[in-house]
Amino acid sequence: GENVEQHPSTLSVQEGDSAVIKCTYSDSASNYFPWYKQELGKRPQLIIDIRSNVGEKKDQRIAVTLNKTAKHFSLHITETQPEDSAVYFCAASLGGTASKLTFGTGTRLQVTL
């Protein structure tokens, strides 16, 4: 099965700085890569996703890049704000569906003033 590694486990940045979270996956057949954000005490929510036929995707201050050859993908958050503080999960899917998602271990992002 798929194995997803995520780094770092914790990340502290100052407000306004950028944050980068990296994930690697093991199965080259994986072709769907979502990122979920989970605020303290809340449910995980999808913030951005990318499919294997695309190398980069942006949505305002959030971007995801995918390197299929190296089997890694990254989440980039620019101009971080206190409300970006949360746990972020990457995931990879064999078959491109939500029913075959394997999640990474999570990154706790703390944005300090």
Name the site residues for another protein (rule: CB under 8 A): 32, 34, 36, 38, 42-46, 49, 87, 89, 93, 96-101, 103, 105-106, 108
Collapse the DSSP code of 99 into the 3-class scheme (helix H, G, I; strand E, B; otherwise coil) and give the result: helix
* For another protein, the closer CB: 74 or 103: 103
Closest to another protein by CB, 26 or 45: 45
* Shortest distance in whole angstroms from residue 46 CB to another protein: 5
Strand bridging mode 72-77 / 56-59: unpaired
Q: Which two tokens stand for residue 97?
A: 């569906």
Listed residue (63, 49, 66) closest to 19, CA to CA: 63
Here the tokens at position 61 are: 């201050």
Cβ 16 to another protein, closest distance in Å?
26
